[in-house]
C-alpha cells in the first residue's frame, strides 16, 4: 500500500502490550502505561492496552486504573502460556483491524521475541531497546531514542511512512504510572481467530528458577561495585554496606566479565536499567555504558579514588577516597546511629 497522508490518517491511539505472567502484570507494563499516557496526551489521542491470556479479565480493570481508556481483552486457553505463534498472529490481526498509531512493548524476553514478528507481519519499523520516547512538537511523530555503537552515542529514530510506530522499551527506564481506582474505561472483548493448529510449539512444562536475590530493578537502594574493588573478595564489603542500608548489590560489566559476581547483578547498557531512590557506586569509573543503566536514579553517591572519574559528573554526592577505608567508616557511622536510636 502506498504510504499516503490518507493512509497515515487511518491510524489512531497509543497501544501498550500488557504482558502478564500467571495472572500478574509485568512491572514494565506499568511503566509503559505512564509513558503511553504522556505520549497519547501530546498526540491528542487515547491510551489503549492489549491484554492476552486465560482468565485475566481482572487485569483489564487494573490497566484502566493505570490510565487505559480502552483495553482490548483477548482470552483463550491457547494464551495460558506464551507462544510466539499465538501472540504475534492475534496481535497482528488486532493491529490491522483497529490501526493504532503507536505500539509500545516492554523489552523483556517475551517482548524481544514478539515485537519483531509483529512489525514484520504488519510491515512497519521497530526501534528496539529504547531508553527515551518523545513526541515531535511539529508533526507529532514519535522520537525513539536508544544507545548505538556500543553505547557511545544515543540515536534518535523516527518512522515517518509506516504505522504503527513500534518501540520496545527497556524495563526500569520509565516512571511507573500512578494508580487511580476511580478511573473508568472501556473493555473491548475480542474473540481470537486462532486454533491449536496455528501454534507450532507446545509448552510441555515450565521450570522456574529459584532466585535468592532481590530483583535489582525493583530495589529502592542499590550498592554497586566496580573494577575499583580490585578483587572478587571486595564484594563482601559491598554486601555488608548493602545489608546495612537495606539495599541490594549491583555491579558493573567489568566485574561480571571477570566472574567476580553473577550477571543478574549487572547494571548498564548490556545489563539492567535501574531507577532506585539511592544508588551508591563504589569503585565504578562511570563508563557511558554503565551510566546508561543508572543515571536516572533519584540520588547517586559515588566513592572513587580518582577525583577525575566520570561517575562524579552525574553524582549528587561524591567521596574521593579508598573505598576500603571509606565504606567501613560509613558502616561504623550507621552503627553509631543505630546505637543512639536504641538509647533514646
Q: Which three cell numbers mark 297?
A: 536514579
Residue whose C-alpha cell reads 522520537 in the numeric block: 143
Q: In what order do the strands lie in the sheet with 299-304?
A: 248-251, 221-225, 278-282, 299-304, 317-320
Closest CA to 36 of 68, 9, 59: 68
HSE, side-chain direction, 13 A CA sphere, residue 49: 33
The whole-number pLDDT of residue 213 equals 52
Number of H helices, E strands in the chain: 9, 17
- The predicted-structure confidence for 297-319, as pLDDT tens digits, reads as follows 999 999 999 999 999 999 999 99
Q: Please give the Cα distance from 312 to 53 (Å, whole number).
A: 46
159 touches 123 (CB < 8 A): no
Per-residue pLDDT tens, the chain, 344 aa: give them.
556 777 788 889 999 999 999 889 999 999 999 999 999 999 999 999 999 999 899 999 999 999 999 999 999 888 888 989 999 999 999 999 999 999 999 999 999 999 999 999 999 999 998 888 999 888 889 999 887 766 667 889 999 889 999 999 988 888 889 999 899 999 999 988 888 888 888 878 777 765 555 578 888 999 999 999 999 999 999 999 999 998 999 999 999 999 999 988 999 887 888 989 999 999 999 988 899 889 889 999 999 999 999 999 999 999 999 999 999 999 988 887 766 555 55
pLDDT value of residue 325:
93
Amino acid at each position: 500500500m502506498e504510504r499516503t497522508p490518507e493512509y497515515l490518517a487511518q491510524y489512531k491511539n497509543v497501544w501498550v502490550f500488557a504482558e502478564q505472567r500467571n495472572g500478574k502484570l509485568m512491572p514494565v507494563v506499568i511503566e509503559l502505561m505512564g509513558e503511553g499516557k504522556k505520549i497519547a496526551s501530546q498526540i491528542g489521542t487515547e491510551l489503549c492496552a492489549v491484554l492476552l491470556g486465560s482468565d485475566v479479565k481482572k487485569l483489564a480493570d487494573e490497566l484502566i486504573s493505570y490510565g487505559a481508556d480502552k483495553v482490548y481483552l483477548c482470552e483463550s486457553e491457547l494464551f495460558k502460556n506464551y507462544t510466539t505463534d499465538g501472540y504475534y498472529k492475534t496481535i497482528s490481526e488486532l493491529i490491522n483491524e483497529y490501526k493504532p498509531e503507536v505500539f509500545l512493548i516492554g523489552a523483556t524476553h517475551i517482548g524481544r521475541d514478539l515485537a519483531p514478528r509483529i512489525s514484520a507481519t504488519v510491515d512497519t519499523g521497530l526501534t528496539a531497546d529504547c531508553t527515551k520516547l518523545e513526541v515531535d512538537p511539529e508533526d507529532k511523530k514519535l522520537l525513539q531514542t536508544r544507545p548505538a555503537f556500543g553505547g557511545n552515542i544515543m540515536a534518535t529514530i523516527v518512522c515517518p511512512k509506516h504505522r504503527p510506530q513500534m518501540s520496545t522499551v527497556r524495563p526500569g527506564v520509565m516512571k511507573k504510572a500512578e494508580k487511580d481506582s476511580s478511573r473508568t474505561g472501556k473493555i473491548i472483548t475480542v474473540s481470537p481467530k486462532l486454533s491449536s493448529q496455528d501454534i507450532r510449539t507446545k509448552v510441555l512444562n515450565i521450570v522456574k528458577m529459584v532466585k535468592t536475590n532481590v530483583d535489582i530493578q525493583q530495589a529502592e537502594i542499590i550498592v554497586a561495585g566496580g573494577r575499583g574493588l580490585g578483587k572478587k573478595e571486595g564484594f563482601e564489603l559491598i554486601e555488608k554496606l548493602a545489608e546495612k542500608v537495606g539495599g541490594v548489590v549491583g555491579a558493573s560489566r567489568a566485574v561480571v566479565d571477570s566472574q567476580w559476581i553473577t550477571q543478574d547483578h549487572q547494571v548498564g547498557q548490556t545489563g539492567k536499567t535501574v531507577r532506585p531512590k539511592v544508588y551508591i557506586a563504589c569503585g565504578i569509573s562511570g563508563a557511558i555504558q554503565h551510566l546508561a543503566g543508572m543515571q536516572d536514579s533519584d540520588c547517586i553517591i559515588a566513592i572513587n579514588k580518582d577525583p577525575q572519574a566520570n561517575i562524579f559528573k552525574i553524582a549528587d554526592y561524591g567521596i574521593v577516597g579508598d573505598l576500603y577505608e571509606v565504606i567501613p567508616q560509613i558502616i561504623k557511622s550507621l552503627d553509631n546511629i543505630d546505637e543512639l536510636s536504641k538509647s533514646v
